[in-house]
Amino acid sequence: MTFQDFTARIVGRLRQSGETLHISKSAVEATLKAMAAETAAVLAEGGRVQLPGLGVFETQARAARQGRNPRTGEAIAIPARKAATFTPGKALKETINA
């Protein structure tokens, strides 16, 4: 699903919710972009982002290791790094497996 499709679905869901929300597609797009940027900033600082009903984003340290160049077979050093991880919450797991 593209970002535009996702945004349109959110706008549709908000309009169908029966609430008196008058939110534009551009406002939803701006909100999602800000949420993604802030999540990335928190993770870059080594923090954790918990979104109720969705799950938890956090960073995990990956140790340095030896790898191989698949073309030449030469051993190469892969440096340590951080990786973003996502752990789905209970509600998301139940929705997917329903």
- Write the CATH number for 89: 4.10.520.10
> Domain ends where: 9, 30, 45?
45
- Confidence (pLDDT) at 20: 63
If asked whether residues 29 and 2 sit together in one domain, one would say yes
**Cβ density class 54-80: b for 16+ within 10 Å, e for less:** ebebbbeeeeeeeeeeeeeeeeeeeee
If asked whether residues 37 and 62 sit together in one domain, one would say no
Domain residue limits at 68: 47-98
Say yes or no to pLDDT of 19 above 80.
Answer: no
pTM, rounded to two decimals = 0.77
What average pLDDT does the segment 44-52 reach? 95
**Residue from 60, 63, 9, 7 nearest 32 by CA:** 7
| Residue 77: its H or E element | strand 75-78
Contacts of 41 (CB under 8 A, 6+ apart): none
Number of domains in the chain: 2
